[in-house]
Structures are given as structure tokens and as C-alpha cells.
Structure 1
């Protein structure tokens, strides 16, 4: 809205998040956090969607334990700085989907979106009328979604204590954009991981 209304003219990047809860695998496709970053990329800005896994290390949509944002936010800020610095070298319509694990990340890894395993009747439903005269259908305890957990995937990365970065490009007709974005992401992640090692500790 700010861009379309002319309320700002010096946007360097679009950062969507940090979302409460990870946006991983197939589930990322209906994430408003990622959707907002995609909109930013469509408008020509380097864009990043950031999400934080809950403190308990689970993958549920509804959290019961809270979030620790400090480490993930520090890591996210470094990624955004690099995107702004390299803006002219990034392919147009580029998005990074960043997910921070429950605890401070061991390092950052380049990851693909994992595949979710969909199962009918996998959610236990409780039927009640609570004395109101109509039926209500609910579940008392949300289960973690089931993913394949493939090596190199974002779900595997967070499960193993790493932050994941999934590069996405929406320049539909540019056959080389995705390849260039992947090459940039690999170099950037390697540089950031090296800086973490030099500092001698995890982020922050």
C-alpha cells in the first residue's frame, strides 16, 4: 500500500515476519508471511520471509510454549543486509524463505521445501454440543504435520538444529534466474557461516 500510494520512495528490501511458527515445505504455499514477501518481489524489491519455530521444537500451527526470537532475528538481519548489498546482482523477483529453529542455530543451510504427507482422518475430532443446541467439531490437541523429512529439506534442517534458507524466484520467463539465485544463496550462506565460525559462537 505504501508503495502504490507513493508514501515511500526509498524501499531497500521487504521483510515479512518474523512469523510465530515455522513455514515449511508444502505448508509454505498458503503462508501469508511468504505471500507478502512474494508481493514485495513482484514489485521489484529483494524480499525475505522469516519464520521462527516454537520453543518446544514442534511443528504445530498453534503453539503452546512461546518463541525465542533473538537468535533468529539476528541471523535474519544478516541475510537482509546481504540482500540489500547485493541488490543489483540478485535476479529480479527473488525471495528467500528463512526459518529459524527453536534454539540458536548451529549454522545456516540451503534447503528445499519438504513434501507433506497428507492423510485423511489423521486429526482426532471431538464432537460436543456444550449445551448450546448445536454440534461443534474440534480437536483437543493438534498433532505435528507429517513431512517426508528428506535430506536437504527445510524440515530436516530445523529438526537437526539448523536455520534453513530456501531461495525462490518468480521471474517466470527468465530461465536462468533460479540458477543465478541459487549460486548467490550458496555463496552468501557460506560467507555467513564462515563469519559465525570466526566469531567463535552461534548467532547472536
Structure 2
């Protein structure tokens, strides 16, 4: 397959190199990724400034294009401009440093890059190693290969992304795959106020993870039990369950 790759940790991040190494054994890999880390940028795109794409070499070999934009920008630019003559079979974003579960997906540049692939018309996958400090990218790389051997990406529905979260354990300790729903895992945020030398206040946002949705089909439930979590995400966010109730309240 012809696969377009991006991430939000930046083109020099180790996760994207590991993903490339695993995929290029059997596939054609094309990389367009942010020039620096763009984590937590969500689905932002650049509309009032130009984008630059610069060729990046690693060990004197062409690696990919670095773009001074967001992860979503990278997919747009890669698919519609830089590699406009290539008919991609798949978009993959990652391997992210840290999990993308629950409300993470709203902020995640990694997931947003994959969703941009879905908007652009390609089957897409976001992949994250569920550990920030010392992620085992090799495990996540092998998981993606195993997943691609299990599924036909052409059958991923239009406007849909598979959000894959991989436990941070050796590959032989992975118990298997579980198809999950997005949990209500979220953050209890607070701000640490500090003062600069001129007496002005500035703030660091901090927070702790809230995991109180431990039903069996939630994403973090299975990741914590050493299963790979696969959650199908739609580009569209309508709350269909509430839609009908709201119609009855407002329109009838």
C-alpha cells in the first residue's frame, strides 16, 4: 500500500521513525510531519499564513517533509499538494508519545491528523503508545503491522478513523485486540499561578486524570488490562441519542 504518515510530536520524534521502519518493509511510505512538536493543537489548520515544506534527511537519506504547521495541515498539504499525484491507500498518524483516550481525542494533534485523512477521503488510523515517559514504540509498531494483517482498510467506513492505543509492554505480553468505545476519561484541570520578575502573573495549566468510567468496553479499561484498544471515531460529532429527544422538546 501507499501510506501517508504524520504525527504531532514532530518529524524528528522517535515514534514516527519506528513507524516508518515497520511499515516500509512491505509498503510505500511518505512522511509529511510538523517541523517541531505540535502536541495538543487539536484540529487547527493554518489559513492566514503560508506553509513551508522542507525536505529532511536522516543519515544522508531522504526521510520526509517538515511543515511549519499543524498535524492537520500536514495531511492536507501532503495529500493535496506535495504528493497530489499519489493515490494513497491509507493515512496513519503516530506513533504518539502518550495515550489518546477519552477526551484526549479532542485535543490530540495525532488523532486530528488521522481524522483529517478521513475528511480528505482516505482510510485512516491514529496510533499511540499509552505511556509518556518511556514509551515502547517498537511494541506499537508491531501492533500496527498485526492490525493491517487483520483488517481490510478499504472497508473502513467513509469519514472514520481507527484510534489505536497500545499498552506500554513488550509485544509478547500483549493479550490481543479489543474494539472499544471512547471513554469519559478526562482531566481535572487547575492552574498554577506564578509571578515574573516584573510582577506580572503567569499560569501553568496542570491537572490529574479522572478515570471513573471503568465499564468493560471503554478504551482505558482494556489498555489497563494489556489489550490493544481500537476505537472507531467519526468526523461528525452529532449526539444522535439526544437529537430525537431535543426534536420532541423544541419542535413538537
Q: TM-score, normalised by structure 1?
A: 0.66
Structure 1 residue 129 corresponds to structure 2 residue 198: no
Q: Aligned match of 1:103 in 165, 169, 172? A: 169
Q: Which runs of 5+ in 1 are unaligned?
A: 55-62, 173-204
Structure 1 residue 165 corresponds to structure 2 residue 230: yes
Structure 1 residue 78 corresponds to structure 2 residue 168: no
Query: Contact 1:21–1:53 at 8 Å: present in 2 too?
Result: yes
Q: Aligned match of 2:99 in 22, 34, 58? A: 22
What are the superposed Cα offsets for residues 76-128 of structure 1, whole Å, 9 maximum, x if unpaired?
Answer: 12223555xx2443432331100011213221111111013665xx53x4433
Give 3-state SS (helix, strand or coil) of 1:16's partner.
strand
Matches within 5 A, 1:16-55: 16-54=93-131
Aligned length: 157
- 2:47 alignment counterpart: none
Between the aligned partners of 1:20 and 1:11, the Cα distance in structure 2 is: 25
Query: Contact 1:48–1:80 at 8 Å: present in 2 too?
Result: no
Structure 1 residue 2 corresponds to structure 2 residue 108: no
Higher relative contact order (CA 8 A, sep 6+): 1
Between the aligned partners of 1:45 and 1:131, the Cα distance in structure 2 is: 51
Q: TM-score, normalised by structure 2?
A: 0.54
Q: Which runs of 5+ in 2 are unaligned?
A: 1-76, 238-252
Q: Which structure shows the higher strand fraction?
A: 2
Q: Kindly report the root-mean-square deviation, in angstroms, between the aligned alpha carbons of the 2 structures.
A: 2.6
Matches within 5 A, 1:86-97: 86-97=152-163
Give 3-state SS (helix, strand or coil) of 1:11's partner.
coil
Between the aligned partners of 2:137 and 2:149, the Cα distance in structure 1 is: 18
